[in-house]
Chains A and B, each alone.
Chain A
Amino acid sequence: MKLEEKRSMIEKIVKRYPEKESAILPALYFVQSQDNNMLSEQDVKDVAQMLGVSESKTFGVATYYTMFNEKPVGKYHLQVDTNIPATLVGAEEIVAYLEKKLDIKVGETTPEGLFTLSTVEGLGSGGTSPTVQVNATYYERMTIEKVDKLIASLKSGEMPPKDVNYNYGTECGILFKNRDKVDSTSIKTYKSNGGYAALKKARDMKPEAVLAEVKDAGLRGRGGAGFPTGLKWSFLSKEDARPIYLICNADEGEPGTFKDREVMEHDPHLLIEGIAISAYAIGSEKAFIYIRGEFAWIANILETAIEEAVADHQIADLDIVVHRGAGSYICGEETALIESLEGKRGYPRLKPPFPANVGLYGCPTIVNNVETLACVPFIIENGATEFKKIGTENNYGPRLFSVSGHVNKPGVYEYPMGTPLKNILSAAGGVNGNLKAVIVGGLSNPVMRASEIEDLRLDFDSCINAGTMLGSAGIIVMNDAVSIPKIALRTAKFYANESCGECVPCREGTYSMVYYLDKLVSGNGTKEDLNALSYLCKNIRGLTLCPGGDAAVMPIEAMLNKFQKEFEALANHKLSQNKEGASYEYHD
C-alpha cells in the first residue's frame, strides 16, 4: 500500500476521536496489518509523522503494548495463553507439543516462515483454555489432537472453524437472557425479547431520576472494586461546561475472568442499551468501549451492533466508539485506560484528581465495567426494588461468575450475588479431583484453602469478612495435584510481565519476586529467600502508584502464609547446601 493510501486511512481513523493522538493504537494496528504483521522502523516513523507526535513517543507506545511485533513473525503467529487457568488444564503441554511438532522454541519462527510460536499472558479465555491464538483468531478448548488438526489445516493455507461450544449457565436470566437464542447478536433478536424498552423508558424520565434509580438499586461495580455505581456517577459536577465522557471498561484482563466477553460476544445490544441509558443519566454524548486488543472479533460484533442500533434510531444522540487496547493488563485500571485511550503508554495517573473531575482529555469521565453497565437496563425496566430482590444485603443483583481450572464444566455462570461458592462449583460440574485451593475474585486476590470455603458466600462483603475479595468474580479452582509455589511463581511472572514500569516498588518488586520464587521452585532457594519474599510482599503493599502493586503481592502473600509448608520444604531442601552464607539480608 502506498504511503498516501495509508495516510488517507489513518486520517479516517483520526476522525473518530476528539484528539488526534488517540488514533495511535488503531494507526499502529493498521500499518502493522499492511506490513506482514510487523511494525518496522519506517512504520513507526510514518505513524509519528502522520499523527504529528514524536518518534520516541510513538516507539514508546509501540513497545509498551505486547500486540505490536517489532520483529518479523511467520504467516501464522501461534500465541498460547500460559496464564494460570490455562496452565491448570494443560497449556504447558500444548506449548511443549507445538515446540516438538514445529521443531522450534518459543519465540522462534519456522525456517520457511510459516509459523512463529509465542507464549502470552491470559487471553480472557480461562474457561475455554487451553487457547491458541492464531494471528487474530482464538482457537479454544484445545487438545493435542486439535492442535494436530489446526497445524495440518494451516499448512494447507486454511484457517479452520472455531469451537465456540462454551459452557454457561444461568439462574437469573438477566445478563444471559438471550444467551441461548439463535442469532443472539442481532438487534431483531434483542428487540423481540423486550430489548431497548428500558432505554425508551429512561428517555421518558429525567436524567436525575435515572441516576437516582441506579443509586437506589445499590448496583456495585463489577470490574473488581465493587464501588457503588450511582455514587460514582453523582461525583460529576452539575455545573460544568466541559463534555462528559462515558467509558465502558471491556479490558477484561484479570486472569481467571472471562465474563464480559460473554455479554459482548452473545448479547452486544444489552451492553449498548446499558451504555445508552447510563450516558443519558450522566449527560454524555460520546462513549467509548475500551476492549482488550485480543478480542478483535468481539470488537467487530460490537461495531456491527452499534451500526444496527444507529440505523434503528436507538442511539441517535450518542456516539459510541469501539477502541481496542493492544495488550496490557494495567490498562484495566481506569486512569491507565484513559491514558491508553489518549494514545499514550498505559501509565496510571496520580490521584487526585479523579476521572469524574479530570478524566479523558482533561474532561469529566465515568469508567464502568461491561457487566455493571449491562445491569442498568434491568434496573430501569423493572425498578430498583426488583433488582434488590436479587442477592444479599448491600450486594444486589446478578453476577457473572467465571469458573476455570479444575472443574468439570469451566465456563460462565450467572447467579445472584451472595450465592455460596459450593453452588457455583456444582453448577460448573463440580471439582475435578480433590479441592486444594480456590481464588474467587480473579488472580489478584488472596487464595483460599479448601477448608476456608465451606460456607463462603460470593458477595463483596462476605468475601472481605472471609479474608479475600470478590473482585471480578473470576473463580480459579485448584485440585491437590497443584504445587502452590509453582502457582506463586507463575503469578509473580504475570505481574512482572504486566507491570507498566512506572513506579519502583511494582517494577522492581515484581521482578525481584520472580527471582526469588524461581530460585525456590528450581530447588536452589533458601530460608533467606523466603524471608525476602515476605519482606517484599509486606512492604510493596500500599506503596505503589496504582492498585497493581497490591494486586501482585496479595495473592503471593496469601500463598506464602497459607501454604507455608510447601515453600519451607523447598527452602529447607537447599538449606544445608548453602554454606557460603545468606544470599539475602534485610533491615528490620
Chain B
Amino acid sequence: MNITIKDRELEVKEGQTVLQAARENGIYIPSLCYHDRTGPAGKCRVCVVEVEGMAGLHTSCSLEVSEGMKVITDSEKVLEAQKLVVNLLLSTGKHDCLSCEQNGICELQDVAYYLGIETPAFHMADVKPEIDDSSEFVYLDHSKCILCGRCIAGCNGTVVNEVLDFGYRGHEAKVICDNDVPMGHSSCVQCGECVQLCPTGAIIDKLRRGKGRPWETHKVQTTCGYCGVGCQIDLHIKDNEVIDITGKEGVGPNFGSLCVKGRYGYHFLNDPARLKTPLIRTNGSFREASWDEALDLVAKNLNRIKQESGPDAIGVFSSARITNEENYLMQKFARATIGTNNVDHCARL
C-alpha cells in the first residue's frame, strides 16, 4: 500500500496506523499517550494530522492507512493544535526541566522542542509539586503527570497488578493507587512497569535520583541474572557504576517489562561485601580461594560423605537464579552422579 506523509511517498503495511507508518520511516509526529505496548488512546491529541480529502484533524495513532492517503503533518492548523495541547499541559502542570530526571528523555520536552515552545503560553495559578515518595523504588510527582494513561494500561493490561487507575475527574483527575493511598501503602509490588511507560518525569526510578543525567550514562544491553526467563535489560552506566536498569523495549522475552528484582535489585553489583571469589572456611574463618581449589574440595568431600554414610546423606538444593537447563542438570547430577532423590529448589520456599 502506498501513502504520502509530509510529501514523502511511502510503502506501508495494511492495518498500520499513520503514526506507526511515520515512525517506521523516520518521520516524527509528536505523540504522548501512544506507546507501542499500550496502543492508541486518543487522550493527548498531540499526534493530530490532516488528511487530504478528509475534514478536520485526525489522531494519527488511531487512523489506519489507506491506499493513496496524503497525510499533512505540518500545516498551520496541525501545529496550532499541537501547540495548544503542549501549552495547556505546560501551564497546568509543574514541568521544570532543570533537575528533572527525565530531562533529555522526556517525550513532553521533545514535543515542546519540536514546536519551539520556550515557556508556556498561559500563566495561571502556580502549580505545586505533588510528591509521593512512599514507595521504596518508585518516585511519583503528580504535578508532572499528563494523564496519558500509559502507566494504567501497563499496570492493568500488561503486568495485571491492577493497582493503578484514574480517580476523580476533569482537571482534578489523577492516577491513583488502590483507594487513592500513597503507593508505598498500596498493593503495588514495585515492578516498575509504570516507570518504564511514563513519558514524562511523573513516575521515575527512585534509586537513580541525583545519580546522573541520561546523557552522562551509556547503556549496556544484557540478560537479567535473577532467573531463567532471560529478560533483556539495559544497564545505565555512569563512571563504571550501574545507576539504573530499564527493560529493553521491543525485544523478547519481556519486551520492556521486568519484575521488582530485575529492575531494582542491582545494588549488590558495587557492594563492597559482594563475593568475587569462592571462600573456604578453615579454623572458623574464611579465606579466598580459586574456583579449582574450591571445586576440588567440594568433590572430595561429597565423595567422602557418600562413601561413609551413603548417597542419601547428601541433598541438593538449587536456585531460581540459574536457568531451567542448569536446574535440570543439577537434579541429574543428584540422581545419576550422587545417587539420591534429595532434590529441592528455592522457589518452593
Binding site for B on A (CB under 8 A): 41, 44-45, 54-57, 59-60, 63-64, 328, 345, 350, 496-505, 507-512, 515, 532, 535-536, 539-540, 542-545, 583-587
Contact = CB atoms under 8 A, between A and B. Distances in A.
Interface in B161-191: 162-173, 176-180, 187
Contact of A59 (B45, B117, B178): B178
A58 to B, nearest CB: 8
Contacts of B180: 59, 63
A55 B178 contact: yes
A56 B44 CA distance: 22
Given A56-B176, A501-B170, A586-B121, A350 B40 contact: yes
Contacts of A500: 169-170, 173
Q: 10 shortest A-B CB distances, which residue pairs? A: A501-B173, A54-B162, A56-B165, A508-B88, A511-B171, A60-B165, A539-B84, A350-B42, A499-B170, A55-B178
Contacts of A586: 87, 121
Given A54-B156, A499-B171, A542-B56, A508 B40 contact: no
Interface in B13-66: 40-46, 48, 56-57, 59, 62
Interface residues of B, number: 49
Contact of B171 (A345, A503, A508, A583): A508
Nearest to B122: A512
30 contacts: A45-B179, A54-B163, A55-B179, A56-B165, A56-B179, A59-B165, A59-B179, A63-B167, A63-B169, A328-B169, A350-B42, A496-B171, A499-B170, A501-B168, A501-B169, A503-B43, A504-B46, A504-B85, A509-B84, A510-B170, A510-B171, A511-B92, A511-B171, A535-B84, A542-B56, A542-B57, A543-B45, A543-B57, A543-B85, A583-B123
A63 B84 contact: no
B122 A584 contact: yes
A539 B56 contact: no
B57 A540 contact: no
B347 interface: no
A498 B170 CA distance: 7
B79 to A, nearest CB: 9
B170 A497 contact: yes
A183 to B, nearest CB: 41
Interface in B318-346: none
A56 B121 contact: no
A504 B42 contact: no
A482 B295 CA distance: 93
A535 B56 CA distance: 18
A503 B42 contact: yes
Central interface residue in B57, B62, B87, by most chain A CB within 10 Å: B87
Contacts of B235: none
Nearest to A57: B165
B176 A60 contact: yes
A20 to B, nearest CB: 15
A55 B169 CA distance: 17
Contacts of B42: 350, 503, 545
A505 B122 CA distance: 13
Given A55-B179, A587-B121, A502 B165 contact: no
A539 B81 contact: yes
Given A501-B171, A545-B45, 6 more contacts: A56-B177, A59-B180, A497-B170, A501-B172, A512-B92, A583-B123
B123 A508 contact: no
Interface in B106-148: 117, 121-125, 146-147
A41 B147 contact: no
B248 interface: no
A500 B147 CA distance: 12
Nearest to B40: A350
B5 interface: no
Interface in B62-101: 62, 80-81, 83-85, 87-89, 91-92
Central interface residue in A45, A496, A586, by most chain B CB within 10 Å: A586
B122 A532 contact: yes
A584 B121 contact: yes
A574 to B, nearest CB: 15
A496 B91 CA distance: 16
A502 B147 CA distance: 8
B169 A345 contact: yes
Central interface residue in B85, B164, B179, B187, by most chain A CB within 10 Å: B179
Nearest to B121: A586
A243 B324 CA distance: 47
Nearest to B88: A508
Contacts of B167: 56, 59-60, 63-64
Contacts of B46: 504
A512 B165 contact: no
Nearest to B59: A350
Contacts of B44: 503-504
A400 to B, nearest CB: 30
A509 B83 CA distance: 12
Interface string B269-306: 00000000000000000000000000000000000000
Central interface residue in A503, A510, A535, by most chain B CB within 10 Å: A503
A543 B89 contact: no
Contacts of A507: 147, 170-171, 173
A515 B173 CA distance: 18
A504 B168 contact: no
Nearest to B44: A504
Contacts of A63: 167-169, 180
Contacts of B166: 60, 64, 345, 501
Contacts of A41: 179
Contacts of A515: 122, 124-125
A41 B179 CA distance: 7
A60 B91 CA distance: 25
Given A350-B40, A545-B43, A56 B163 contact: yes
Contact of A508 (B59, B81, B91, B117): B91
B54 to A, nearest CB: 12
Contact of B169 (A44, A64, A535, A539): A64
A44 to B, nearest CB: 6
Contacts of A504: 43-46, 85, 88-89, 146-147
A45 B181 CA distance: 13
Contacts of A535: 84
A510 B117 CA distance: 21
Given A502-B43, A508-B89, A59 B176 contact: yes
Contact of A539 (B41, B62, B80): B80
A56 B194 CA distance: 15
Nearest to A536: B84
Contacts of B57: 542-543
Contacts of A583: 123
Contacts of A60: 165-167, 176
A532 B121 CA distance: 9
A496 B170 contact: yes
Contacts of B176: 56, 59-60
B247 to A, nearest CB: 23
Nearest to B174: A501
Contact of B84 (A350, A505, A510): A505
A516 B163 CA distance: 37
B62 A587 contact: no
B78 to A, nearest CB: 10
A56 B164 contact: yes
Nearest to B179: A59
A584 B117 CA distance: 14
A539 B179 CA distance: 36
